[in-house]
A and B are shown apart, each in its own frame.
Chain A
Amino acid sequence: MRLPFTRRKPAPSKAERYATATQLQLTWWRFCRHRLAVVSLIVLLLAYTAAIMADFLATTDPHQTNAATSYIEPQAIHWFDNGGFHPFVYGLKGARDMRTFKLSYKVDTSRKVYLDLFAHNYDYSLFGFRTDIHLFGLRNANRNDGIYILGTDQLGRDLWSRLAVATRVSLFIGLVGVSISLFLGVILGGVSAIYGGWIDILVQRMIEVVRSMPTIPLWLGLSAAMPSSWSVTQVYLAITIIISLLSWTDLARTVRGKFLSLREEDFVLAAELAGASQARIIFFHMLPSFTSHIIAAVSLALPAMIISETSLSFLGLGLRPPAISWGVLLQDAQNVQTLVLAPWLLTVAVPVIIVILAFNFLGDGLRDAADPYG
């Protein structure tokens, strides 16, 4: 089979460009040959764009509850109507069967509700501008109509709209969190390796203690300690920080380990002999030679971070309703009645998995690309 990319010498045409290319350019060119990674990158860019535009993508207010639309299963959009392209959905008639106590919805084919692009719905602010324009919406809708692409939850809220908002929350928690822990990790790891001695011991103890703590109790304790008067945003930030406080250790260890092993390497000795300053050695000789490992570690840290938010919100220790995040949405699926009566609530897992996959492939691609042996 064909290699998706390789580290071999370049084609004649490119010869000169390669000869003069910087390490960064080379990395980028190599990365571009890693198809999976490129695809992932695009997926992630899309995901984050969607996250930023969440309210624009939402079709109805993600918080709007309505008993009459409880547990509606995903609804098909019909694209063509009397010959032309007129996307529409049928109205629904819902009732609770008082023998089985199940809600059942019948499609009311007599009533067609048409879709509009850039329809007006609830207000929200995008980049500081207030607007009520949404990517698409319904024209002649009554209170109970909606475009339930992914169905609705118990409170009759549109899952698609909720998912959009949840994505924003969860994706950015991961991003903020990882940058904090990356910072901590590189600084502490580097310092501990370079200065060694008691500093090293101190940092090592810190790492060991933090890592020897099963994280769940830490979480529980800390989240329980959060003043209940805090706003969702405050809780959100606090949680982000907590996650990163618990996950910088891996990065620190990687960095330290690599520093130590590299100190032995000849080229560092050479540089030292050549009288290069320590800083120079670290930043010009050592760091570049293991960016790959840092990138690999980050590529693992980020999804791990997203997962921890998800898991903890799922446990009810992270973000709590009415805040919306992937974890909060999945919490709805924690009981058997949802699994049986509204299995579509599990579809939330799909974007979670896709995004985390993408992050990993991306990280893998970057790792291979940035590899100094290339």
Chain B
Amino acid sequence: MAEPLLSVRGLRTHFETPEGTIRAVDDLDFDVFEGRTLGVVGESGCGKSVAARSVLGIVEKPGRVVGGRILLRTHAGDTLDLAALPQDSAAYRAIRGPEIALVFQEPMASFSQYYTIGNQITEAIRLHLRLSRSAARARAIELLDMVGVPQPSRRIDEYPFQLSGGLRQRVMIAMALACDPRILIADEPTTALDVTTQAQILDLLRELQAKRGLAIILITHDMGVIAEMAHDVAVMYLGRAVETGPVADIFAAPAHPYTRALLRSIPTVLAKPRTHLPTIAGSIPMPSARPAGCAFSPRCSEVLGDVCRQTEPPAIGEGARSVRCFLHGGAP
């Protein structure tokens, strides 16, 4: 298989607080490949979004990437370790937009209400591609058209609050693609939208991916979306990937008890009507109160005993798949 555009190894993003260190992302590995979608899935608070921000280098204080590598293969073809770059360096800024872009949860809140969408799109274009105002505008219109915004040449002068939710998200995507990045991070892109719009947006993403060989990191808590969109999956629990692999394999044979639990919680047409969806016992602990051993052990239905509670299961796997669970060996 081709080598990844972005490969994250042992990423650690910690927040230093008076209450102690919060290990939001802790020893996270994953790879992103050209033209493929990596679905990052997990309950809220498991560190998905922090991971995304870490990759973009926009972690807010007092958060900090404290370890690991973020290897990015740039347009130019050379490979950079973003983790080694200072967040506010010009070099890093040159990555945001042209290399990696972000599509954000709430389309409304993600736009400033004080500028036209045109203004907010062209800004990035002019900054990175050094285009003239008119050229930038032309490109923006083109982008809007591409993401399926009707009458883009008129819409471009409108304000976000004048658009519908769906349109806003399209514009959001257009803005993300303004400097044609090769990696798009979509952080819960559809959460705030109604079902039909959701579908449209997902289609759009897929279409764009096909057109431009875009690599997408799709962050969601919704296994359904994963099933629909992703090629590969990374299941995150308390800041690390407990299981990764091609979506088909994982859906077919989930290896980690947590993955299974998640999958069980998807409603299916086959399920008997009026039956409660199985939920995962207990609630997700505070990342600061991370249990010893396998972090999932307290909630795990198949816990093996002290080994799970005392020692961290290593990542075991062959090929694209890997899992962190003693059920699959690796026990000392």
Chain A residues proximal to chain B, CB less than 8 Å: 3, 6, 8-12, 14-15, 19, 33, 264, 266
Task: Check B289 against A8 for contact (C-beta < 8 Å).
Answer: no
Q: Which residues of A contact B76 (CB under 8 A)?
A: none
Q: Which residues of A contact B15 (CB under 8 A)?
A: 8-9
Which single member of B18, B161, B288 contacts A264 (CB below 8 Å)? B161
Task: Check A8 against B19 for contact (C-beta < 8 Å).
Answer: yes
Given A10-B286, A10-B288, A264-B161; 8 other pairs, CB 8 A cutoff: A6-B62, A9-B286, A9-B288, A12-B286, A12-B288, A12-B289, A15-B289, A19-B286
Q: Which residue of A lies closest to B20 (CB)?
A: A11
Separation of A243 and B106 alpha carbons in the complex (Å) = 44
Task: Check B17 against A9 for contact (C-beta < 8 Å).
Answer: yes
Task: Check A266 against B288 for contact (C-beta < 8 Å).
Answer: no
Closest beta carbon of chain A to B123's beta carbon, Å = 23
Residue B146 interfacial (CB < 8 Å): no
Task: Check B106 against A9 for contact (C-beta < 8 Å).
Answer: no
Chain B residues proximal to chain A, CB less than 8 Å: 15, 17-20, 22, 62, 106, 108-109, 161, 192, 285-289
Which 3 A/B pairs are nearest by Cβ-Cβ distance? A11-B19, A8-B17, A12-B289
Of B18, B62, B287, most buried by chain A (CB within 10 Å of CB) is B18
Task: Check A266 against B108 for contact (C-beta < 8 Å).
Answer: yes
Separation of A154 and B286 alpha carbons in the complex (Å) = 67
Task: Check B289 against A6 for contact (C-beta < 8 Å).
Answer: no
Separation of A247 and B108 alpha carbons in the complex (Å) = 35
Separation of A309 and B18 alpha carbons in the complex (Å) = 43
Closest beta carbon of chain A to B305's beta carbon, Å = 24
Task: Check B106 against A6 for contact (C-beta < 8 Å).
Answer: no
Q: Which residues of B contact A33 (CB under 8 A)?
A: 18
Separation of A266 and B169 alpha carbons in the complex (Å) = 14
Task: Check A8 against B22 for contact (C-beta < 8 Å).
Answer: yes
A–B complex contacts, Cβ < 8 Å, 13 sampled: A8-B15, A8-B62, A9-B287, A10-B19, A10-B286, A11-B17, A12-B286, A14-B19, A15-B286, A19-B286, A33-B18, A266-B106, A266-B109
Q: Which residues of A contact B286 (CB under 8 A)?
A: 9-10, 12, 15, 19
Q: Which residue of B lies closest to A18 (CB)?
A: B286
Tally of A-B residue pairs with Cβ under 8 A?
42
Task: Check A12 against B20 for contact (C-beta < 8 Å).
Answer: yes
Q: Which residues of A contact B289 (CB under 8 A)?
A: 12, 15
Separation of A10 and B21 alpha carbons in the complex (Å) = 10
Which single member of B18, B109, B161 contacts A6 (CB below 8 Å)? B18
Q: Which residues of B contact A12 (CB under 8 A)?
A: 19-20, 286, 288-289
Which single member of B19, B108, B161 contacts A9 (CB below 8 Å)? B19
Separation of A80 and B102 alpha carbons in the complex (Å) = 75
Question: Given A10-B288, A11-B288, A15-B286, is A266 in contact with B192 using a C-beta cutoff of 8 Å?
Answer: yes
Separation of A297 and B310 alpha carbons in the complex (Å) = 53
Closest beta carbon of chain B to A26's beta carbon, Å = 13
Separation of A6 and B287 alpha carbons in the complex (Å) = 17
Separation of A3 and B108 alpha carbons in the complex (Å) = 32
Q: Which residues of B contact A15 (CB under 8 A)?
A: 285-286, 288-289
Q: Which residue of B lies closest to A14 (CB)?
A: B19
Separation of A19 and B287 alpha carbons in the complex (Å) = 13
Closest beta carbon of chain B to A11's beta carbon, Å = 3
Separation of A3 and B18 alpha carbons in the complex (Å) = 9
Separation of A33 and B19 alpha carbons in the complex (Å) = 12
Separation of A23 and B74 alpha carbons in the complex (Å) = 46
Q: Which residues of A contact B106 (CB under 8 A)?
A: 266
Q: Which residues of B contact A19 (CB under 8 A)?
A: 286
Q: Which residues of B contact A266 (CB under 8 A)?
A: 106, 108-109, 192
Separation of A121 and B62 alpha carbons in the complex (Å) = 60
Separation of A326 and B62 alpha carbons in the complex (Å) = 45
Q: Which residue of B lies closest to A12 (CB)?
A: B289
Q: Which residues of A contact B109 (CB under 8 A)?
A: 266
Separation of A6 and B62 alpha carbons in the complex (Å) = 10
Closest beta carbon of chain A to B128's beta carbon, Å = 30
Closest beta carbon of chain A to B170's beta carbon, Å = 18
Of B19, B20, B108, B161, most buried by chain A (CB within 10 Å of CB) is B19
Closest beta carbon of chain B to A258's beta carbon, Å = 15
Closest beta carbon of chain A to B185's beta carbon, Å = 22
Closest beta carbon of chain A to B127's beta carbon, Å = 29
Q: Which residues of A contact B62 (CB under 8 A)?
A: 6, 8
Task: Check B17 against A6 for contact (C-beta < 8 Å).
Answer: yes
Closest beta carbon of chain A to B117's beta carbon, Å = 17
Closest beta carbon of chain B to A295's beta carbon, Å = 24
Closest beta carbon of chain A to B24's beta carbon, Å = 9
Q: Which residue of A lies closest to B161 (CB)?
A: A264
